[in-house]
């Protein structure tokens, strides 16, 4: 590496608008694995109260991949992975794939701590963090304090003491238990919501410390997150992983204001720079969220696109990664639909054949039953404006028809991708109804991700009409789908939940489907979808899968 310190170029065209003069301190609280839907559903009392007297957004978009290092880096660096070069959790100062577009002698992209130290060299700035990996993302020489603690309780107490003792101009704390709960118990579970409420109590501790330090009237409090999650993992491309909240509270902040502009994760650093009257590097792409403050309008949008009403809710609700709907064996499926506030509405239209609903579709008047497999789609249509579409996959199966999927389960070690299963001996064999991971067949060590496992699932898919079919796997980690021995979907590798697709021409009749899947560590998931002539995209249904 070249030991040359790059000169950071600053924007020459500065906005004339100034932040509130009363902001003398900025305190940032970062909550790992904290999704926007988690905030809505957990009802954290203190953060809810801050939102009622502050400004907020529940639609902040993260960066890809949705793992901690790239996202925390984007929060503090005002740019995305393509600029700062931190593209995975494996990033280290001496081991990376992409050079940052500009850097210091250690190949670090300039962070908010860098420009704070450069422009306010004598002012107090510090960070205390629960996840030790946070500390490698910035230069410790840029702060007065950089310290990690193993527990969230220790972290918040140390940070509260730091605020009271040092009254820092700029400080940042990181809490990690919400992310741990997502991995251990699952995102969207009662345990996950309880972890959010625990983090909420930590936010209150920080706020009380700000008051004790006599800083309340002059402190901008900013609450941020790195990513959300789905099931027991993150790192994929699901909207639950990509959508996080951001909360602003303090002098000059609008009261109870839901920010309308689209906020991106890297806008946080730009907003901190704006609040502390710092010039941001030209290489940053983040923009300050000025609309959070009194005296600033929402930005003028030259191209507004189409704003759609939130999708309604189809019941039964999804659990973990699973989509809405479910498998119903020897019974009918009961379908209920409500608006997004879970209230009855006379403006819901739906279909059961997978087509998009419009005003000519059935109008929802109450629960209905399905006695065969169907793709239910529903949307709100009010005053001619069509909202977003909700989709439910309902599979209805009658037993005794020869349906099923054969599984072989393997135990692994050191796998980074799908192994050659034909060279391995299975540890278990069983049958199931669909292509998925059966939690009941896994050992406790495999469930918590400390022991790797793999699956080979085979079944004969009955194709009703000749033509081109698309197959999809949605998996964490890798998966591959073969039809009649031909690789159709390659979704291999060690990754969070992601979907990949392939296509093949098939004749009418039964065809051998083989799916290989492995879990390297942490969360896991497997689903398989298809579509074709006259068939909407759907989970490959149990009533079309046969053992012979």
Task: Give the 3-state secondary structure of 255-311.
Answer: CCEECCCCCECCHHHHHHHHHCCCCCECCCCCCCCHHHECCCCCCCCCCCCCCCCCC
For residue 546, how far is the Cα from the chain centroid? 35
User: How do beta strands 374-382 and 385-386 pair?
Assistant: antiparallel
**Reduced 3-state DSSP string for 127-141:** EEECCHHHHHHCCHH
Phi, psi of 134 (to 5 degrees): -60, -35
Cβ atoms of 19 and 211 closer than 8 Å:
no
Q: Which two tokens stand for residue 179?
A: 């992310």
Report the relative pairing of strands 243-249 and 55-61 from DSSP bridges. antiparallel
- Distance CA(308)–CA(388), nearest Å, equals 6
The 10 Å Cβ neighbour count of residue 448 is 15
Report pLDDT for 400: 95
Per-residue model confidence as pLDDT tens for the chain (548 residues): 334 444 455 543 444 578 999 999 999 999 999 999 999 999 999 999 999 999 999 999 999 999 999 999 999 999 999 999 999 999 999 888 899 999 988 889 999 999 999 999 999 999 999 999 999 999 999 999 999 999 999 999 999 999 999 999 999 999 999 999 999 888 989 999 999 999 999 999 999 999 999 999 999 999 999 999 988 888 888 899 999 999 999 999 999 999 999 999 999 999 999 999 999 999 999 999 999 999 999 998 777 777 778 889 999 887 766 789 999 999 999 999 998 777 778 899 999 999 999 999 999 999 999 999 999 999 999 888 899 999 999 999 999 999 999 999 999 999 999 999 999 999 999 999 999 999 899 988 898 888 999 999 999 999 999 999 999 999 999 999 999 999 999 999 998 889 999 999 999 999 999 999 999 988 899 999 999 999 999 999 999 999 99
Looking at domain 313-397, which of 2.60.40, 3.40.720, 1.10.3470, 3.30.70 is its CATH number?
Answer: 2.60.40
Superfamily the domain 25-292 falls into: Alkaline Phosphatase, subunit A (3.40.720.10)
Integer Cα distance of 135 and 68 in angstroms: 12
Q: What's the gap between Cα 243 and its chain centre?
A: 6
* pLDDT score recorded for residue 320: 65
CA distances (Å), origin 315, targets 105, 348, 402? 56, 14, 29
pLDDT for residue 321:
66
pLDDT of residue 13: 41
End-to-end CA separation in angstroms for the chain: 60
CA dihedral (296, 297, 298, 302) in degrees, to 10, reads -120
ω into residue 318 within 30 of 0, thus cis? no
Q: In this predicted structure, what is the pLDDT of residue 341?
A: 73
Q: Could you tell me if 241 and 62 are in contact, meaning their C-beta atoms sit under 8 angstroms apart?
A: yes
Same topology, domains 313-397 and 405-546? Answer is no
Q: Spell out the domain ranges in the chain.
A: 25-292, 313-397, 405-546
The size of the chain, in residues, is 548
Residue 273 φ then ψ, to 5°: -60, -45
Gap between the Cα atoms of 88 and 381, Å rounded: 41
Please give the structure tokens belonging to residue 1. Answer: 């590496």
Distance between CA atoms of residues 237 and 239, nearest Å: 6
Topology adopted by domain 405-546: Jelly Rolls (2.60.120)
pLDDT of residue 454: 97
């Amino acid at each position: 590496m070249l030991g040359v310190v790059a000169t950071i170029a600053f924007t020459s065209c500065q906005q004339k608008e100034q932040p509130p003069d009363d902001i003398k301190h900025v305190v940032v609280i970062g909550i790992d694995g904290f999704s926007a839907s988690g905030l809505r559903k957990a009802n954290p009392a203190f953060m809810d109260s801050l939102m009622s007297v502050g400004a907020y957004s529940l639609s902040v978009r993260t960066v890809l991949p949705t793992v901690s290092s790239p996202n925390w880096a984007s929060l503090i660096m005002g740019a995305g992975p393509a600029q700062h070069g931190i593209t995975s959790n494996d990033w280290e100062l001496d081991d990376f794939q992409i050079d940052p577009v500009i850097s210091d002698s250690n190949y670090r992209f300039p962070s908010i701590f860098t420009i704070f130290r450069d422009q306010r060299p004598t002012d107090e700035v510090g960070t205390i963090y629960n996840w030790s990996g946070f500390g490698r993302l910035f230069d410790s020489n840029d702060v007065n304090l950089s310290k990690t603690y193993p527990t969230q309780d220790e972290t918040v107490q140390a940070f509260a003491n730091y605020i009271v003792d040092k009254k820092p101009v700029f400080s940042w704390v990181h809490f990690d238990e919400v992310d741990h709960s997502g991995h251990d118990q699952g995102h969207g579970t009662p345990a996950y919501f309880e972890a959010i409420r625990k983090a909420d109590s930590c936010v209150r501790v920080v706020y009380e410390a700000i008051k004790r330090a006599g800083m309340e009237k002059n402190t901008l409090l900013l609450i941020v997150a790195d990513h959300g999650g789905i099931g027991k993992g993150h790192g994929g491309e699901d909207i639950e992983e990509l959508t996080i909240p951001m909360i602003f509270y303090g002098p000059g902040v609008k009261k109870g204001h839901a920010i309308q502009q689209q906020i991106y994760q890297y806008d946080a650093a730009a907003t901190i720079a704006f609040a502390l009257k710092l010039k941001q590097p030209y290489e940053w792409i983040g923009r300050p969220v000025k609309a959070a403050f009194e005296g600033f309008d929402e930005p003028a949008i030259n191209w507004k696109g189409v704003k759609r009403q939130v999708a309604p809710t189809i019941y039964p609700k999804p659990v973990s990664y699973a989509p809405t709907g479910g498998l119903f064996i020897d019974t009918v499926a009961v379908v209920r639909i409500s608006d997004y506030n879970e209230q009855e509405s006379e403006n819901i239209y739906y279909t059961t054949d997978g087509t998009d609903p419009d005003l000519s579709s059935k109008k929802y008047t109450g629960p209905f039953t399905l006695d065969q497999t169907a793709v239910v789609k529903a949307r709100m249509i009010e005053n001619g404006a069509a909202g977003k579409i909700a989709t439910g996959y309902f599979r209805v199966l009658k037993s005794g028809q020869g349906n099923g999927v054969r599984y072989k389960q393997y135990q692994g070690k050191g796998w980074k991708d799908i192994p050659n299963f034909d060279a391995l001996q299975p540890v278990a064999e069983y049958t199931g109804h669909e292509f998925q991971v059966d939690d009941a067949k896994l050992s406790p060590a495999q469930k918590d991700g400390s022991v790797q496992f793999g699956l080979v699932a085979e079944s004969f898919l009955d194709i009703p009409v000749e033509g081109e079919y698309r197959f999809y796997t949605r998996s964490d980690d890798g998966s591959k789908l073969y039809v009649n021995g031909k690789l159709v979907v390659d979704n291999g590798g060690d990754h969070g939940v992601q979907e990949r697709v392939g296509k093949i021409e098939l004749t009418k009749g039964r065809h051998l489907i083989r799916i290989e899947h492995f879990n390297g560590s942490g969360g896991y998931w497997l689903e398989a979808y298809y579509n074709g002539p006259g068939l909407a995209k759907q989970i490959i249904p149990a009533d079309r899968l046969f053992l012979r």
